[in-house]
Amino acid sequence: MRCMIPGLAICLSLAAPAALAEASVAEYRAALADKDANPGSLIIEKGEMLFKTKRGAKAETLEKCDFGLGAGKLKGAAAQMPRYFKDTDRVQDVESRLVSCMVRLQGFDEAEIKKKLYADQRFNEDNTPLEAMAAYVYAQSDGMALNPPKKHPKEKEAVKLGEALFWHRYGPMDFSCATCHAEDGKRVRLQALVNHYNKKDIQATVSTWPTYRVSHGAMRNMQHRMWDCHWQMRLPDIDYGSPAAVAIIAFQADQARGVKFDLPGMKR
Amino acid sequence: MKRTLILAVPFLFAAPAVQADAALAALVDKAIAASFPAGEGQDLSRLVQDDTLKTCSQMRNNPTEKQAAAILEREAKNMKHPEGGKLLGDWKKGEKLFAAGFGMRIGAIEPDKADKQKGGNGGNCYACHAADPKEVAAGTVGPSLTGYGKLRGGGDDIVKYTYEKIYNAQAFTACSNMPRIGHNGILKPEQIADVTAYLISPESPVNK
C-alpha cells in the first residue's frame, strides 16, 4: 500500500490493511480533517485535468457533458443524481453518465472503456481516468444536499427496483444486500456494516462516496462498491452502470436524501 | 425470519411490511438479466434462484406461515449426511474450516486463484459468528457460538441438529440469513462433520 502523506506517523500503522480496526480509521480521518491532505484530493485534481483535456477519437473534452442541469453545468449536479436522461432513455448515476459522454462526445468505445474500469490495488495501480473523473464530478457537489429528482416514472421505478434488488437473494451464499445491511450495529469480522434502513447510517455512507480507500491506496466510487459487494456475494461481475447497479444506488440515494456531501471520503 | 424449532426471535429492524409483488419481481429479473454480461470467468448460472430464495426475496425474509412451512418441508428433503453416517468428525480440521474464508469468488476482475482453489472452500463462519473466545475478529451477523458444546452437551440429538443446521439452515429456520453451507456445496458433508466436532467437542477451544 502506498502512503501519500509523508511524515504522518499514523501512516505506518496503516500498513496492515486487513487487520485495520475502526478506531484507527477514525484517528486517521481526524488527522486528515484538513481535506487538502486527503490523498483523494490529488486524484480529483487529476480528474479535472483529464475532464478538460481533448481525448478520444473526436479529440474533444467533456466540458459539454450534461449531468442533468445542462451542458457543462457541474456544480450541484451529482447531488441531483441518479436521474432520468432523455437522450439515453435511462436513469443514470454520475459514473454511467460519464461513460455515455465519453462515447457520445469523445468517440470512445464503450467496450474498450469497460476493459479497465478500476485501478487494481493488488498491483498498486493508479486510478483509471474514469475513476479520477467521477471523483472530480462528485467533488463539484461537495457541501450540497443530496436530492435526486423522483418525478419521472423511471426515476420512481428505479428506487423501487433498487429496494427489491437489495432484498434479492442469489448466488451460492444465499446472500442479498439485506443479509449484511439491514440491521443496526452488525459486523462482518471487524468491519462495521451500514444499515440501509437507518437514516443516519446510510447518510454517513452515501455522503462520503467517492472515497479514498486506504486499504486500496486508491479512490473508489459507488459503482466499484457495487461490484465489490456483488463479488463478495460470489456472483459474476456486475456491469458498470448497469440497470441493477444504478437502481440500487438510486435506492441508497433515496434513503440518504437530504444529507450534505462531505467529499472526498476516507475509509478503510 | 420464522423460527420453528427454537423460540421465536422478534424482528429487530423496521423492514417495511411486504406482500409478494409479481410485477416488481419481473422487473428485478429483467434488470438482473441486463446487468451481468456473459464472458470469460462469469458463471451466469449463479444468477438463477431456487423456489426458496424466490419466496424469501419477494417476502423480504418474512414469509407467511404457509410459505415458511413449504420452505421447511422442501429444505428438509435437501439434506445429506456423510457416507457412513458419521456426523462428528475431526475438530482440528473443523477449526481450520471455520476460520478459512477462501473460495467461490469469480468474475474477470478478481477471481480466486486456481492454485489456491485446489485447497477447497473455507466455511467463512467467523464472518458472522464468534466461536473461539481468543478470536476477536468475529462477525455479529449470526449469534455467538462460543461455548456451544459446553452449553448444549454432545448428545446424539444435538450432534444431529448441529450437523443438519450447518448443512441446511433453512430446514430449521425459513429464510434464515445463514447460507445453506452443505446444500449449496460450500463445504462437503465430511467437512461439515469436522465443523460440527469443532463446535461440540469438549477439547475444542470453542468450549474452553
Could you tell me the residue ranges of all domains in chain A?
A: 18-267
Q: Measured between beta carbons, which residues in chain A are less than 8 angstroms from residue B139?
A: 186-189
Nearest CA in chain A to B24: A161
Which of A20, A91, A118, A174 best tests the B interface by mutation, with the highest count of B CBs <10 A?
A174
**Cβ A167–B105 below 8 Å, yes or no?**
no
**Cβ A164–B138 below 8 Å, yes or no?**
no
Is pLDDT of A56 > 50? yes
The torsion angles phi and psi of A15, rounded to 5 degrees, stand at -70, -15
Cβ distance A79 to A144 under 8 Å? Answer: yes
User: Residue A13, SS3?
Assistant: helix
**Per-residue b/e over B111-144, b at no fewer than 16 CB within 10 Å?**
beeeeeeeeebbbbbbbbbbbbeebebbbbbbee
The structure's pTM equals 0.92
Q: Digits of tens for pLDDT over chain B (208 positions)?
A: 545 444 444 444 445 556 778 999 999 999 999 999 999 999 999 999 999 999 999 999 999 999 999 999 999 999 999 999 999 999 999 999 999 998 999 999 999 987 776 778 999 999 999 999 999 999 999 999 999 999 999 999 999 999 999 999 999 999 999 999 999 999 999 999 999 999 999 999 999 9
Mean of pLDDT values over A31-57: 88
| CATH pick for A18-267 out of 1.10.760.10, 3.40.50.970, 3.10.450.50, 3.40.190.10 | 1.10.760.10
**Cβ A235–B46 below 8 Å, yes or no?**
yes
- The closest of A4, A33, A10 to A23, measured between CA atoms, is A10
Task: Calculate the CA A60 to chain-centre distance.
Answer: 25
How far A43 CA sits from the closest chain B CA (Å)? 22
A229 catalytic? Reply is yes
Cell triple for A187: 459486523
What's the angle, vertex CA A174, arms to CA A201 and CA A118, rounded to 5?
Answer: 60
Instruction: Read off the pLDDT band of A29 (50, 70, 90).
Output: low
Domain-by-domain residue ranges, chain B?
Answer: 1-35, 39-208
Of A167, A186, A189, the CB nearest to B126: A189
**Cβ B109–A227 below 8 Å, yes or no?**
yes
The torsion angles phi and psi of B3, rounded to 5 degrees, stand at -100, 130
**Cβ B139–A176 below 8 Å, yes or no?**
no
User: Per this entry, what is the length of chain A?
Assistant: 268
User: Residue B156, SS3?
Assistant: helix
Q: Tell me, yes or no, if A237 comes closer than 8 A to chain B by beta carbon.
A: yes
Q: What is the reported pLDDT for A3?
A: 38
Say how many Å lie between the first and final Cα of chain B, rounded.
31
| CATH pick for B39-208 out of 3.30.450.40, 3.20.20.30, 1.20.58.110, 1.10.760.10 | 1.10.760.10
Q: What is the reported pLDDT for A25?
A: 58
Mean of pLDDT values over A45-58: 98
- pLDDT tens track for A89-124: 999 999 999 999 999 999 999 999 999 999 999 999
Q: What is the reported pLDDT for A96?
A: 98
Cell triple for A189: 469480522
Task: Give the number of beta-carbon pairs within 8 Å between A and B.
Answer: 144
User: How many angstroms separate the CA atoms of B119 and B107, rounded?
Assistant: 19
Is pLDDT of A2 > 90? no
Q: Measured between beta carbons, which residues in chain A are less than 8 angstroms from residue B46?
A: 170-172, 234-236
Is pLDDT of A4 > 50? no
Q: Measured between beta carbons, which residues in chain B are less than 8 angstroms from residue A183?
A: 12-13
Q: Measured between beta carbons, which residues in chain B are less than 8 angstroms from residue A170?
A: 32, 46-49, 53, 57
- The closest of A38, A82, A71 to A250, measured between CA atoms, is A82
Burial class (CB in 10 A: 0-12, 13-18, 19+), A71: exposed
Is pLDDT of A75 > 70? yes
**Cβ B25–A234 below 8 Å, yes or no?**
no
